[in-house]
Amino acid sequence: MSETPATTRLPDESCTRLSVAPMMERTDRYYRYFARLLAPDMLLYTEMVNANAIVRGDPNRWLEYHDSEHPVALQLGGNEPAKLAAAAKVAEQFGYDEINLNVGCPSDRVRSGAFGACLMGDAPLVADCVAAMSDAVSLPITVKNRIGIDDGEVCNDSYEFLAQFVETVSQGGCEMFIVHARKAVLGGLSPKQNRSIPPIRYEVVAQLAREFPHLRIVVNGAVRDSECVAERLEEVAGVMIGRQAYKEPYWLAELNRQFLNPDYELPERPDVVAAMADYAAEVVQGRVRLHHVTRHMAGLYAGVAGARAWRRKLAALGSVDELAALAATPIERLNG
């Protein structure tokens, strides 16, 4: 780690109050455009992108996005400070608003690459990674981690372990930590099981926020209703919404008005669909299939009568024109 690491610039507090989590095979550019139509004031995150894919591959493939997605953060995966710094430089050129380092993914594939949640076992290396990126770019560098790790042999899930991790990494220049309030079980549990089996421990993240008041602590994990959001915001600086934002995307609009902008006028769902049809007309060409765009829209009518018919019609679409026509069809007529 450099002897005098640069101090990371914090993201704007107003947008980190509520954010949508990075989710593999979920939060691609098409979903983010959709989410932005619903929640104009939330911070959006990309899927995790391996730093090697940017440095050695085609950065356009991984980093292109629509201008309307701002504020948008790139989540990077990796464990080599120099490569992460190089990837961060490219991301800065693309105009991202924040770089986030993944120190929370428990998948075997990520673990085999010696990054993700297993990095919590090497806090000095994480600090080096943060310092290298912070020295390389002017963007805020943040970290997303778990409250602890358990590899079956050694269980590091005490508050003291988490606090020491945060203390060490903050010395590398990180001032914002997004903490999934579950430990990661490395080996033995799938990523899906790691999102449900280890118990949720919001009290640990709340304690972290109290004892590190100079840092911005954001909580993630099992946030499924507005009451939970309100409770968590009493304890920490921000809340990150995960799978529920994908299952019930219209909830994002309601959260945006309730917690970020009380003057925000909730959009009509058919208007959102029409806007997505216009967007699809721009991007559906070459290797981009319509399904890449519409698959993210399946939950738009969750909880509304006719939602099943909506999903069926959406899945059967064959053209952008059909999507536009669907937008103009009242949902109560979809069963016809």
Alpha-carbon distance values, 10 to 56, 70, 118, 278 (Å)? 29, 16, 25, 35
Tokens (6 digits) for 332: 């109560």
Tokens (6 digits) for 331: 């949902």
Neighbours of 296 (CB within 10 A): 21
Q: Are 276 and 323 in contact (CB under 8 A)?
A: yes
Apex 231 CA angle, 72 and 193, nearest 5: 70
Alpha carbons 98 and 218: distance in angstroms, whole number: 15
Residue type, 64: E
Alpha carbons 188 and 173: distance in angstroms, whole number: 34
Alpha carbons 188 and 241: distance in angstroms, whole number: 26
Q: Is 15 an annotated catalytic residue?
A: no
Alpha carbons 305 and 291: distance in angstroms, whole number: 24
Q: Which of 105, 118, 129, 174 is catalytic?
A: 105
Tokens (6 digits) for 321: 């024109």
Alpha carbons 91 and 118: distance in angstroms, whole number: 24
- H or E stretch including 228? helix 226-233
Q: Which residues are catalytic?
A: 105
